[in-house]
Structure 1
Amino acid sequence: MSGIRLKHKGWVVVADGEKALFLENAGTPNNPALQVFNAFEQPNPKTAAQGTDRPGRVSNGAGNAHRSAVQETDWHRLAKHEFAREIASVLENSARADRFEQLVLVAPAVVIGELRKLLSGSVADRIISELNKDLTRHPIPEIEKLLFE
């Protein structure tokens, strides 16, 4: 329980590598009431399901005597990065339009780390709290309870 005090019309973004919920506080800091106003998903199967090629090989010099395998691309990880880029883009555009004053990020550490790299100072300055949890499949009342009590 975090005890966060989020202003009226403050935002909460609950995300993982595949789903993002954008919530707005329709209540007050003392009596918050989160409402979903935007949500999107990106199917992101495991890397094995996305790429079936064998890893490539590279020659280390003249002749073919020394060949090394090249690490296979982690398509799952790349998709999570692209999804974080989408979330960051929505937040950047909304900050420019001054649609929110405060922001709470709720996501696994990897996603929060990706977002930190992508967000400008104008969005980062509005972040009042970060919670390292995956709550994308939780109902809104449970999210409220975890954040505000």
Structure 2
Amino acid sequence: MAGIPRKALVFVGDGRKALLLRNEGDDRFPNLKAEAVFEDQNPATHLQGTDRPGHFVKGIVSGQRGAVEPTNWHELEEYRFTRRVARAAEAIVRSRRATALVIVAPPRTLAQLRATLAPDIRRNIIAEIPKDLTRLPVGEIEKHIVEALASPTR
């Protein structure tokens, strides 16, 4: 792939922060501009839920008991945040304001996006880059994406 097409939407995010960037340049010289910025306030798991794990009886005759894995509220909120941001990206792509979609996210968030995005939106994905670039300035994000797209191992 040569680069990021003009008017492509670039999703850069993890489970806490996401940037939706639009390429206002061309595919050789991208110029990413912020379309939307999302930041989630996700307190630590112990602050979100205090219930102890539940227990159950495996068999009435045997009397064996088992424990239920505690809910990871922090992880659950990250998934909800990813879904909310995915819906915003879908709205932009469906409105035809974006010609293509590039996703840059850590592997776990990338997997959540694949499961969340509608099939008609997934068809617009031209590249997936499994990196966390959310803490970098936009200029550095551009460089990383261009390098990743130009890499022959892609």
Same fold (TM over 0.5): yes
Task: Using structure 1 for the length normalisation, give the TM-score.
Answer: 0.89
Task: Using structure 2 for the length normalisation, give the TM-score.
Answer: 0.87
Q: Does 1:146 align with 2:152?
A: no
1:32 counterpart residue number: 30
2:152 counterpart residue number: none
- 1:134 Cα deviation after fit: 0.8
| 8 A Cα contact 2:53 2:69, kept in partner | yes
1:125 counterpart residue number: 123
Aligned pair partner of 2:69 in 68, 71, 74 = 71
Aligned pair partner of 2:87 in 85, 89, 96 = 89
Aligned pair partner of 2:18 in 9, 17, 20 = 20
Secondary structure at the residue paired with 1:112?
A: helix
Instruction: Please identify, of 57-66 and 27-36, the stretch whose mean Cα deviation from structure 2 is larger.
Output: 57-66
Aligned pair partner of 2:55 in 46, 54, 57 = 57
1:134 counterpart residue number: 132
Q: Deviations over 1:50-80 (max 9, x none)?
A: 2222111112343894322111011112111
1:116 counterpart residue number: 114
Query: Structure 1: which amino acid aligns with 2:21?
Result: L
Query: Structure 2: which amino acid aligns with 1:81?
Result: Y
The alignment covers a number of residue pairs equal to 147
Aligned pair partner of 2:9 in 11, 24, 31 = 11
Name the % identity.
41
Query: Structure 2: which amino acid aligns with 1:121?
Result: P
| 8 A Cα contact 1:4 1:129, kept in partner | no
Query: Structure 1: which amino acid aligns with 2:33?
Result: Q
Give structure 1 regions of 4+ aligned residues with deviation exceeding 6 angstroms: none
Q: Which ranges of structure 2 fall in alignment gaps of 5 or more residues?
A: 148-154
| 8 A Cα contact 1:4 1:147, kept in partner | no
Q: Which ranges of structure 1 fall in alignment gaps of 5 or more residues?
A: none
| 8 A Cα contact 2:14 2:132, kept in partner | yes
